[in-house]
Amino acid sequence: MIIKKKTHWFGMLFEWNGSVLPKLLPRLLIIFIYSCIVVYFREELMAYQLAINPAIFTLFGIALAIFLGFRNTVSYDRFWEGRKLWGALLNDTRSLARQVHTLVEGSNYTAERSRFIKLLTAVVFALKHQLRNTDTEEDFKRLLSPDDLNKYRNKIYKPIMLLNELGLWINNAKMEGRLDSITQANVDTNLNKLSDIIGGCERIASTPIPYTYSILLHRTVYIYCFLLPFGFVGSMEWLSPLVIVFIAYTFVALEAIADELEDPFGIEDNDLALDAMANNIENTLAEIDNKKIEAIVPSKDYYII
């Protein structure tokens, strides 16, 4: 994700990083060349009455803008829900770590409490890797003991299986008399909240916006852009390719932004910064466990994570 302070209004006109313009340039170039060809043959088009009344594009453009606005709203809702789920993940993991450190009795239980914190941190990183379809091996080697690593490295639903291990840890503490029943119930409530967060993230990741809807909007946008030259060729002539490319950029960029935000857990420029959030959770849990933390210092300009 790119996090960057806004520059001067004029400088933002030429902003490159974080913009969808780089990926749209080939398409806009095709539309520009196509518009130039239409303008070059404008006399033949006018002779065959192939020019279109610009008023039609005005009415159709308003309807298309409404559909694109709805599409972007749906995509941003998914993005914001994903952000809220990871915010809740931070809060609930902190609560669990605090409960274990302050409510589990026994001064000789320090190593076991540290193991709980490591398992809890591993849940966060396992969820990040599951959402991005990446390998957990490197993070698991850093967080888990050799026995736990061998036990969970080949599991399919790693976050849930690690959550189950946390439940077993709490139950063992209860059986050993280090937790009372009321405290165990409160800790289990937070474990249930983590399960809900994992399920919410899986729901967003596994349920994209219906493909047929995306196809309909995609076709409509590009058909509209390729018909535009026939509406302006008679009035603007050689100025029309520039105007058409600007209009096309507006519509095509809106569609591209919606596609990018649809999956908030990806690794594109404007997706959620899961690396930073996972590292932030790890650091705050390590500090609760009285361990050394490594502060995350973003680049002075921008960073992508």
| 303 is a domain residue | no
**Is pLDDT at 37 greater than 80 in this prediction?**
yes
The percent of residues in the chain predicted with pLDDT above 70, rounded, is: 91
Tokens of 184: 């165990």
Kindly state the average pLDDT of the residues 70-82.
Answer: 93
> Is residue 22 domain-resident?
no
Task: Let me know if residue 301 belongs to a domain.
Answer: no
User: Is 114 domain-assigned?
Assistant: yes
d(CA 101, CA 116): 10
**pLDDT confidence tier of residue 291, bands split at 50, 70 and 90:** confident
**Per-residue model confidence (pLDDT) at position 249:** 93
Residue bearing the bigger pLDDT, 52 or 77:
77
Looking at the domain assignment, is residue 299 inside a domain?
A: no
Average pLDDT value for residue range 77-103 = 94
Residue 174: is its pLDDT beyond 80? yes
pLDDT at 298: 47
- Supply the mean pLDDT for the chain: 87
In a domain, 53, yes or no: yes
160 CB neighbour count, 10 Å cutoff: 19
Q: Residue range 190-202: average pLDDT?
A: 96
Rounded Cα distance, 135 and 152, in Å: 13
Mean pLDDT of the region 141-161:
93
Would you place residue 287 in the very low, low, confident or very high pLDDT band (cuts 50, 70, 90)? very high
Q: How confident is the model at residue 3 (pLDDT cuts 50, 70, 90)?
A: low
Q: What is the pLDDT of residues 231-277, one digit of tens each?
A: 877 777 788 889 999 999 999 999 999 988 899 999 888 889 999 99
Who wins on pLDDT, 14 or 214?
214
Q: Would 302 be classed as within a structural domain?
A: no
Query: How many structural domains is the chain composed of?
Result: 1
More confident residue, 3 or 231: 231
pTM for this one? 0.86
Q: Report how far residue 59's alpha carbon sits from residue 73's, in angstroms, rounded to the nearest whole number.
A: 22
Residues 62, 68: Cα–Cα separation, whole Å: 10
Confidence of residue 302 (pLDDT cuts 50, 70, 90): very low
* 72: three-class secondary structure by DSSP: helix
pLDDT band at 279 (very low <50, low <70, confident <90, very high): very high
> Are the C-beta atoms of residues 250 and 71 closer than 8 Å to each other?
no
User: 197 is in which domain, residue-wise?
Assistant: 9-13+28-288
Mean pLDDT of 48-76: 84
> Does residue 284 lie within any of the structural domains?
yes
Length of the chain: 305
Q: What is the pLDDT of residue 41?
A: 85
pLDDT of residue 4: 64
Mean pLDDT of 84-97: 96
Q: Is the pLDDT of residue 299 over 50?
A: no
